Structure 1
Amino acid sequence: MDIYQHFRKEEKPFIDQVLSFREDVALKYQRKLTDFLDPREQMIMKAIMGNDPDLIYGLEGGAEASERKRAILAPDYEIIEKEDFQLTLLEASYPQKFVTLEHRDVLGAFMSLGIRREKMGDLVVQDGTIQITTASEISDYIKMNLTGIKRSNVQFDEKPLSARIESNETWSTKQTTVSSLRLDVMVKEIYGMSRNKASMFIEAGQVKVNFRTVEDASFSLEEGDLISLRGKGRSRLDEVLGETKKEKYKVMTSKLN
């Protein structure tokens, strides 16, 4: 069976990476710890690993509801513990009376240090507190080098994973009918705009799917895809429920309030 036919062409490099990890673990009997994977990458890994009788795998991001998670592939006789994922929770506070920080401000500060997104898990910015789950190997670097965000001085300290703040973000879900699963059609439906305007946003590079900019309005979405429109927030195609007699798609979508 050709595994590639079930996924997008641009996902081939990640598929190859997972296949390489699986082969290495099977041949060398040594576990493999990945960087943080987004939800789409987690889904691909689960599909590739399937029910391999000789290997096991686990996913962990610090909490059950974590969006971004690291994965471990290991021989089937091993036991994977939570501490094996090498996660560190960092926390800092800022004076919210004097400065307003948003998710993108904090993420931008991390990226400006040359830290790859793949080394960072979930990020929460609320009520004067910043929390981020990181790969343990970069936590000391962050503590030493990230000392200011916008006009605010910050100092990150390690906290136990059990101290993780649950985000107060809420998602609203909606069932609707669409003519196709094209990106422009779904952006139009989810964000309440004309299809032409949706296409303009996409072609201007203001729309991301699974954290990657997509400038093709005809890009076809699949279940689980995360969408973000600059200035309009995030959304998700949760489920394709089937087709109507008029060959339209019944879908369940969610949008971050």
Structure 2
Amino acid sequence: MRHIEDLARTAQARSIPRYSSFLSDREQALAKAALDRAGCTAFRFDGGYPQAERRLVCIEPEDSWSDSPLRCVRLECRQLAGAQPPAHKDYLGSLLGLEIRREALGDIVLPADKPGTAYVFALETVAQLICQELRQAGRTELTCSIQPLEELPEFPEADRQTQTATVSSLRLDAVLAAMLHCSRGMAAELIAAGRVEINHLPASSTHAPVYEGDVFTIRGKGRFGLAALPGKSRKDRFIIEYFQY
């Protein structure tokens, strides 16, 4: 937050644009608070496409030029017949293998209608490095090229399958156990170990109430959204509808 405030003060004092590295959704919430505290209003979040999860803070005072470091690299697989194209983890692992810091990378998009093609959003210098050095993802050879942002295809919304479960109470441990298909004891252990966040804030109590629209991040397990609370079942248990990001 101090870093974002410093960027905002520099941008406003010198009327020049300033940009952060890529931020997670939690970091974006903290950045928004820091910008509000600094009295900065000339900012936006940009991840390269409308549905981006990881995004830059772009602080651009009025009459300043735009100098965004955001770039996109298009990766094309040279895959053998019948071979499966690389998955998200394969691309990310290969990129981190180049000793690229995670905050220099944005989303990695694998369009369902273009198997074997991936779009990597990155800072400008990193995008150049990817084009020069990245040759494969997993065991699949790649070709890389800079993709102009204005020529990006329209990426469809992620298809998230909603699941339904019943819980004895709308407590964090009970809901977490249902989402992870584990025991409440195991869910309690995850909470006690500091591995659970609700709406990007650490959760420390198994008794914490949950509400419709909450987002649960479980380190090492994934991220889940509580889509709806339709009511109770015939056995007087609470019905929850949720999905995994």
**TM-score, with structure 1 as normaliser:** 0.68
Aligned equivalents of 1:227, 1:33: Cα separation in 2: 27
Aligned equivalents of 2:204, 2:30: Cα separation in 1: 22
Tell me whether 1:139 sits opposite 2:139 in the alignment: no
Describe how 1:1-257 pairs up with structure 2 within 5 A. Answer: 15-50=1-36, 55-75=41-61, 77-78=62-63, 84-94=67-77, 95=79, 97-125=82-110, 126=112, 127-161=115-149, 162-164=151-153, 166=155, 169-173=158-162, 178-181=169-172, 184-199=173-188, 225=215, 227=217, 230=220, 233-236=222-225, 253-256=242-245
Q: Which amino acid aligns with 1:35?
A: S
Aligned equivalents of 1:65, 1:186: Cα separation in 2: 27
Q: Which amino acid aligns with 1:192?
A: H
Change (3 A) 1:201 1:224: closer
Does structure 2 retain, via aligned residues, the 8 Å contact 1:225–1:238?
no
Aligned equivalents of 2:163, 2:64: Cα separation in 1: 40
What secondary structure is seen at the aligned counterpart in 2 of 1:108? helix
Aligned equivalents of 2:38, 2:22: Cα separation in 1: 22
Change (3 A) 1:42 1:124: same
Change (3 A) 1:154 1:167: farther
Per mean C-alpha deviation after superposition, the further-off stretch among 139-148 and 157-166 is 157-166
Does structure 2 retain, via aligned residues, the 8 Å contact 1:224–1:239?
no
What secondary structure is seen at the aligned counterpart in 2 of 1:155? strand
Structure 2 runs not aligned, ≥5 long: 230-237
Bigger helix fraction? 1
Aligned equivalents of 1:217, 1:108: Cα separation in 2: 34
Shift of 1:116: 0.9
Shift of 1:189: 3.1
Instruction: Give the structure with higher Rg (CA).
Output: 2
Structure 1 runs not aligned, ≥5 long: 1-14, 241-248
Does structure 2 retain, via aligned residues, the 8 Å contact 1:237–1:251?
yes
Aligned equivalents of 1:55, 1:215: Cα separation in 2: 31
Q: Which amino acid aligns with 2:178?
A: E
Shift of 1:239: 9.2
Shift of 1:19: 2.3
Does structure 2 retain, via aligned residues, the 8 Å contact 1:99–1:152?
no
Q: 2:234 aligns to what? A: none
Q: Which amino acid aligns with 1:169?
A: A
Change (3 A) 1:41 1:153: same
Aligned equivalents of 1:156, 1:219: Cα separation in 2: 49
Per mean C-alpha deviation after superposition, the further-off stretch among 115-124 and 220-229 is 220-229
Aligned equivalents of 2:97, 2:161: Cα separation in 1: 33
Aligned equivalents of 2:5, 2:227: Cα separation in 1: 27
Per mean C-alpha deviation after superposition, the further-off stretch among 43-52 and 108-117 is 43-52
